Amino acid sequence: MKHWLDIAVKGEGETERPAAEKVVSGDPVFTTWNAEERDGLYCGIWQSTPGKWRIAYEEWEFCHILSGVSVITDGDGNSRTVRAGDSFVLRPGFAGTWEVVETTAKEYVIRL
């Protein structure tokens, strides 16, 4: 069985961009290294280049920032800057924006 870190190190990531209608600024590019996908549980490493886009969560997501700087802002305009070492949970119903100021990498666990 591969360790999730081995997956990221070997560069087997999937690259995509947010849907054009969600992009607020920049041209963010996402790379995801999925370590586990089963029974509504997803985990791995995600990375994004700078940019800002709208987000709306229908699932639970635990995030642990590995590197970079991002600003997450809710629909009321309250923002939180997250950096390496920060951990947090985004809950179903959360909507706002995610802005990557410096290329950001995070470990994630998503539960549908």
Instruction: For residue range 9-31, list pLDDT tens digits in order.
Output: 556 789 999 999 999 999 999 99
Residue 6: half-sphere exposure toward Cβ, Cα within 13 Å: 4
In the block, tokens 């992009």 appear at 23
> What's the CA gap between 81 and 46, in Å, rounded?
17
> Per residue in 52-94, pLDDT tens?
999 999 999 999 999 999 999 999 999 999 999 999 999 999 9
- Report all structural domains of the chain as residue ranges with CATH numbers, in order of start: 4-111 (2.60.120.10)
